[in-house]
Amino acid sequence: MASTYTPLGVELQATGENAGTWGTKTNTNLQIIEQISGGFIQQSIAGGAQTTALSVSDGSTGAVLSHRMIEFTGTITGNQVVTIPLDVQTFYFLRNSTSGAYTVQFKYVTGSGDSFTFSATDKTDQLIFASASDGTNPNIITLAFGSGDGDVTLTGTQTLTNKTLTAPKIADAGFIADANGAEQVIFQTTASAVNEVEITNAATGNAPIIGASGETNVDLSITPKGIGRVTLGAGKIQQLAEKVTVAATAATGTINYDVITQAVLYFTSNASANYTLNIRGDGSNSLNNIMDTGESITVAHLVTQGGTAYYNNAVTIDGSSVTPEWQGGSAPSAGNANSVDMYSYTIIKTGDAAFTAFAAQTQFA
């Protein structure tokens, strides 16, 4: 009676067979079993769309399908199919190390049983079991690593606990859910986006920051839905706090008013001469660049006066002279001695580098 072979190629020697060569065949069988139990092999599947059949090698070592781990390699330019014979029953560690955005499917050579497929972008490992569960339509069963829900997969739904994600990406209107699984933060997408929101935490005594990032100058928009309102909770204070710069400075010459820096500029030393107020963004940004047509901004300049009073006798915006419309119909011609004069300016951008300014002088004493 002649020897027979297992589906993975191990020779089953019949009684009385192979006299004089039994030891050699046994050693070969042991080597086959060793590669089945722990062997590693690489299989190139480079090329266009094709099917690569892994065939058995009866009584010989080296058959790809008779290894525990199979690594698929090569540059693929089409979807790949890798097949094994219908009667193979074992488990495999599969690794997809191919280059190219195409799928790699692992299946039985024929039949309608389940198969496993690496997606076009899945260059990872997978544990599968070739069940040989049916003579015609056997299944390839995907096995989870570890316990519980198993390792994270591309399409599976898993709960992660106490995990640190390095540089995570959420795309295609993905979202972060609350404890009940409801959407809490939704991430929308914009083609070719270059600007984004950044959140910065803070040490003790400092405020965390929600800011804009990207280009040199980036607005930050908060948009309600429909006719909804934007409501800012501010504890006991129910209005926004404006930035005030208090400076022991005497008004004189040309004073640069940087609207990016403050909304109120308060000079506490007595003015020493009439002065020009130049309103701009700051030393690096013009007001024209930081405002859109149809927007307005209101700022105030408080000037301390001594026994000799002086006043704001000229206004410029980004260095160009403007003639404000003054409250009461005429520009001031003097300041108010031993007082604090407050000048307020509401500036409306009407076009590119075109502004209309409304101004008022008020005495406080």
For the chain, report the end-to-end CA distance as a whole number of angstroms.
122
Measured distance CA(336)–CA(329) in Å, rounded: 18
Report residue 87 as tokens.
């009667």
Per-residue model confidence (pLDDT) at position 287: 96
Q: How confident is the model at residue 156 (pLDDT cuts 50, 70, 90)?
A: low
Q: How confident is the model at residue 147 (pLDDT cuts 50, 70, 90)?
A: very low
Quick check: is 139 in a domain? yes
Tens of pLDDT, residue by residue over 192-207, are 999 999 999 999 999 9
Domain end position, chosen among 99, 125, 143: 143
Residue 307 has pLDDT above 60, yes or no: yes
Domain end position, chosen among 115, 143, 171: 143
Per-residue model confidence (pLDDT) at position 234: 65
What domain range is 68 assigned to?
Answer: 4-143
**Domain tally, the chain:** 2
Which residue's structure tokens are 């698929």? 72
Report the C-alpha dihedral over residues 353, 354, 358, 359, rounded to 10 degrees: 40
Quick check: is 314 in a domain? yes
Quick check: is 97 in a domain? yes
Tens of pLDDT, residue by residue over 217-254, are 888 999 989 888 888 776 766 677 889 999 999 999 99
Tens of pLDDT, residue by residue over 44-69, are 999 999 999 999 999 999 999 999 99
Q: What does pLDDT average to over the chain?
A: 92
Quick check: is 108 in a domain? yes
Q: Which amino acid is at 360?
A: A
Q: How confident is the model at residue 152 (pLDDT cuts 50, 70, 90)?
A: low
Report the C-alpha dihedral over residues 211, 213, 216, 218, rounded to 10 degrees: -60
Tens of pLDDT, residue by residue over 244-265, are 999 999 999 999 999 999 999 9
Quick check: is 326 in a domain? yes
Residue 157 has pLDDT above 80, yes or no: no
DSSP symbol at 36: H
DSSP symbol at 75: B
More confident residue, 9 or 257: 257
- On whether the CB atoms of residues 264 and 243 are closer than 8 A, the answer is yes
Percent of the chain with pLDDT over 70: 95
Per-residue model confidence (pLDDT) at position 86: 96
- On whether the CB atoms of residues 251 and 273 are closer than 8 A, the answer is yes
Quick check: is 104 in a domain? yes
Tens of pLDDT, residue by residue over 312-337, are 999 999 999 999 999 999 999 999 99
- pTM over the 0.95 mark: no
